[in-house]
Structure 1
């Protein structure tokens, strides 16, 4: 494996928050995980806000560098090139794989982190180019989460094994996980005067709460994506007081042919986009990770998305 080059610190721009308290409320904008991102930091002076922003950006960058499938020298590349060899993994990776296993079981196999291999033939760039059925069929045998083995040894070590030709893709939850971890990095920093915080990674959000019960974070939602960065017309507004909020949909990743829109949520059993479901699903839950999982699982249900969500005991919004 090639040596991993250290990354330059993630660049962000800190400025006073719109309609915030002068000198106490801040907004940091940056790009990560192929998305416009934002931190909202309340109740601290600029030096503390700078430290908090650095902590959050460093955590997002760490997770992207470790788990992105678009890098060829990171841990994800090592796992995807392992070709049946047993690989020692750290606890964080083992826990994320355990989460993936839980998602697979909850969805009856519709949420499968080995289905990212379909990205070799599906390119959701807004065009009308659909893959050939033969190209999809060639990949379906490689989508098989039960063939992946993860275990803990008696000495506490964690291990991973995956057949040759298969590949993992954490794209279905990495951004949500990063939002939760960035929030945790700031909230556990021990810096003085810590107030309300909100992390927005391309529409996947996590917050530690609000200053007063009557205060809320106001979030604009456009079809398929949360638009907290301004400059875009929101379809409707949501309020968030704590926990996580995530939206899944087809606003940015889609194909369109013969007046039909093909969203990027793929059924791993057929290799084709799920048909008949809502354009987008937004879910509030205890964490951004849970919110993102429920919103994606709902889209995977197609026409039964609302029936699925109604049984989860979480607040949700659909756009058809």
Structure 2
């Protein structure tokens, strides 16, 4: 494929509850459309397997077993996701926990009301990676009423798969944007990076930073997606699995990493860590930018 003959094509679609957009360079529109349809079909397939909202999904089948405190064998793809979730749980000191799904029963961010402490206390005994028995390929639930939720890694995993699909189909320049989780297929044909704006957590019409990304991935997390404001305090949707309450300290984090899966889980863990999250990211050598509740901004990603 000759770089001089490449044109940029854009393909919007919706998957995994998010607006998605592909930016692909190709010589011919039919090539770009074919690759875009492969990516779209793969993303919808991941949604069909791991959506917690679909009763016919694989995840819903797993959660029906979890509700009974049972056990089952999982396929290789699900096993790989569980292995990664276990690593995230360990590296975060237990903060990143895909068993925290039952907390949704107490928190209704659409209704805009804070839950009663008693409702949260009743759910906490059903949460905790330590209550699982995971010996590949068998997964067991030690407490009835548990749930798994791949929301913290599923969309990012899909973005990485999308970039791999593009490369396998001969598209070497492009960008995958799955609801703000971004994976670069390759820089622009002239070698220049993609310019990506990070949403300001308190002003939907402004950007917190504009970054240049030529390779790898960028993911963002914050309390601006879903929140309840009560008593002059903002309660975001990222919940501490130990207390059942929203984390405090940082209100937005964006992380750059080689894979979107790493970037996404890292920024979520940083949010869960609060003000200590930036130091943790720095120790890992992951470029990042953050804003705290006082409006201070810091980080280490070069801005555009």
Q: Please say whether Structure 1 and Structure 2 have the same fold, judged by a TM-score greater than 0.5.
A: yes
Q: Do the aligned partners of 1:23 and 1:46 also contact (CA within 8 Å) in 2?
A: no
Aligned to 2:113, the other structure's residue is in SS state coil
Aligned to 2:186, the other structure's residue is in SS state coil
Partner of 1:300: 272
Unaligned runs of 5+ in 2: 293-304
Structure 1 distance, partners of 2:233, 2:78, is 38
Q: Do the aligned partners of 2:102 and 2:147 also contact (CA within 8 Å) in 1?
A: yes
The Cα shift of 1:195 comes to 2.9
Partner of 2:22: 39
The Cα shift of 1:252 comes to 1.8
Q: Do the aligned partners of 1:255 and 1:262 also contact (CA within 8 Å) in 2?
A: yes
Alignment of 1:146 onto 2:134: no
Structure 1 distance, partners of 2:189, 2:283, is 30
Q: Do the aligned partners of 2:5 and 2:27 also contact (CA within 8 Å) in 1?
A: no
Structure 2 distance, partners of 1:213, 1:134, is 59
Alignment of 1:244 onto 2:245: no
Aligned to 2:26, the other structure's residue is in SS state coil
| 1:157-209 Cα shifts (integer Å, max 9, x gaps) | x22222321010011111111111111122113x4xx2312110110011122
Q: Do the aligned partners of 1:223 and 1:279 also contact (CA within 8 Å) in 2?
A: no
Partner of 2:199: 222
Q: Aligned pair in 2 of structure 1 residues 22, 280: CA closer, same or farther (>3 Å)?
A: farther
Which of residues 161, 165, 173 is equivalent to 1:196?
A: 173
Structure 2 distance, partners of 1:124, 1:239, is 33
Indicate the RMSD between aligned Cα atoms, in angstroms. 1.9
Structure 1 distance, partners of 2:52, 2:107, is 15
Aligned to 1:69, the other structure's residue is in SS state coil
Aligned to 1:183, the other structure's residue is in SS state helix
| 1:1-31 Cα shifts (integer Å, max 9, x gaps) | xxxxxxxxxxxxxxxxxxxx99721011111
Alignment of 1:182 onto 2:159: no
The Cα shift of 1:124 comes to 2.3
Which of residues 137, 141, 144 is equivalent to 2:121?
A: 137
Structure 2 distance, partners of 1:195, 1:84, is 46
Q: How many residues align?
A: 285
